[in-house]
Amino acid sequence: MEIALTIQETTKKELIEALSWQVEMGCDEALLDDPTLADDWQVSLDQVMASNTAAQEPVISPPSSAQAQPPLAQLSEPQPQTSPIANPPSDKTKDSIAHITSLSELKQSLSDFEGCDLKRTATNLVFSDGDPAARIMIIGEAPGKDEDRMGVPFVGKAGQLLDQMLASVKLDRQSVYIANIMPWRPPGNRPPTAEEIEMMRPFVEKHISLKAPDIILALGGTACKALLQSDVGIMKLRGKFQQYQTITNVASLSLPMMPCLHPGFLLRSPQHKGLVFQDLVALRRKADAIGQ
């Protein structure tokens, strides 16, 4: 698609709005190493994709005997050396929050925590919603734009669908407890990195330990992988109860956990709603059986 406007015809406000829209859609990385000049800004998508493909998939041919061999330093760059961390940051964080005995104290500790860069780009801390005494704890991935603005998990379009999902098995926000793996919104709604998840793991484990639910509903692949510390995909995990296990500073914890598709995924792929309904029915039956 060609862009008809020129730089002179485009107002500063329109450019800002366009950039804001791209960031909200998750387009927060440059396609080219250098910015294009004003006269060349209408570079075609084919050119961009061709340059990316050429950069990512170089064609390498075996050198002939006549070819001069490059110096060894040019053949490979030195790789950074990695070594096990004797006292990783997550362990230090776990020790620092070991004394916490209430959800309100944990929320304050998260509010005071300065170790995660996401806090600097987020508007609000998103801690939890629902009934702290509920037997079912729902854990999602990370806040989105609406959640970041309001400081409450699952209040956007995905949250509205979650409400409908809960209603299908006669549950609501007042009968469950809702939290996320990440308490701050990643920029552009990107998925949290493995480092960010690991950094916040002590808080998540402490949150579950203090809440002490009977059962966990994990929404989406990121939440499931973080809680189970597994690389198995959500499509293979869903529909079958898993066992969430962790060892805190106080005691070990083992709870049944139902992996489930994220409502945000269902907004894009509504044909999977039937699978989610089956998982929620199994969750409700399991929770009722535990509570008897």
One-letter amino acid for residue 6 of the chain: T
**Domain around 232:** 89-291
List Cα–Cα distances, 162 to 166, 215, 216, 222, 267, in angstroms: 6, 17, 15, 17, 11
Q: Is residue 41 part of a domain?
A: no
Task: Tell me the mean pLDDT in the region 88-105.
Answer: 86
* CATH number of domain containing 148: 3.40.470.10
Domains identified in the chain, total number: 1
Is the pLDDT score of 5 beyond 80? no
- Do the domain assignments include residue 10? no
Residue 225 inside a domain? The answer is: yes
pLDDT for the residue 291: 81
Condensed to tens digits (0 to 9), the pLDDT of residues 247-272 reads 665 567 899 999 999 999 999 999 99
| Rg of the chain on CA atoms, in Å | 24
Q: What is the pLDDT of residue 19?
A: 60
Residue at 76 is within a domain: no
Identify the H or E element spanning 157.
helix 157-167
- Give the separation between CA 173 and CA 178, rounded to whole angstroms: 8
pLDDT for the residue numbered 253: 85
